[in-house]
Amino acid sequence: NTGMLPLHWAAARRAPLPTVGALLRAHRPAASVSDKLGMLPLHHAVANGAPVEVISALLSAHGDGAALADRDGRLPLHYAAARKASADVVAALLGAHPDAANVADGAGMLPGSLASASNAGSAPLRGDAASEAFALLQAAQDGGAKVDGGGTIADATEVRFDDALGCYYNSR
């Protein structure tokens, strides 16, 4: 028994928003139930690349989920970083738990470190969504990015994308 409810399975299989929405309407408390790995449906959705609309629906149902770690000490933001999630997903998670960028997982890794490690050996970062998400993570980790409660970058003029990437390349 994995301890996974239908909402966990739907999130893990990248079910579309109408399916996730129907499951939330049928049993909203499922959004706050952890499986045997300590993962919420939010963890599964992020880890498997669900679209930001699904992530937002799960955060609406259980906003504290962004601050809850699984059995390995990973927050949903750790999964987003390791998966190179879009800047929208990263912003939504940071909006729900702004301090997540500075929380180390059970192995001592910060989300920004996971994002950096997931880029090792791959093509250089470009101005795509994954690069923007990485820059946002780095800026939040350094205290430079502010994300409002709605998951949008509230002070984007304070964080220049080129500056964040420059810091990344200079630190390697």
Q: Average pLDDT of the chain?
A: 79
Position 1 scores a pLDDT of 87
More confident residue, 143 or 72: 72
How would residue 161 be classed by pLDDT, with cut points 50, 70 and 90?
Answer: very low
Position 139 scores a pLDDT of 63
169, 126 Cβ separation under 8 angstroms: no
Position 116 scores a pLDDT of 66
pLDDT in tens, 68-90: 999 999 999 999 988 888 889 99
Rounded to a whole number, what is the largest CA-CA distance in the chain? Answer: 50
Two structure tokens written together for 118? 């997931």
Give the C-alpha distances (Å, rounded to integers) separating 145 from 34, 38, 86, 116, 163. Answer: 30, 29, 16, 18, 12
Please list, in sequence order, all residues whose beta carbon lies within 8 angstroms of the beta carbon of residue 41, skipping any fewer than 6 positions away. Answer: 5, 7, 8, 10, 11, 30, 31, 33, 58, 65
Q: What percentage of the chain exceeds 70 in pLDDT?
A: 67
Position 19 scores a pLDDT of 97
The DSSP code sequence of 26-53 is H-GGGGG---TTS--HHHHHHHTT--HH
Taking 90 as the threshold, does the pLDDT of residue 137 lie above it? no
How would residue 3 be classed by pLDDT, with cut points 50, 70 and 90?
Answer: very high
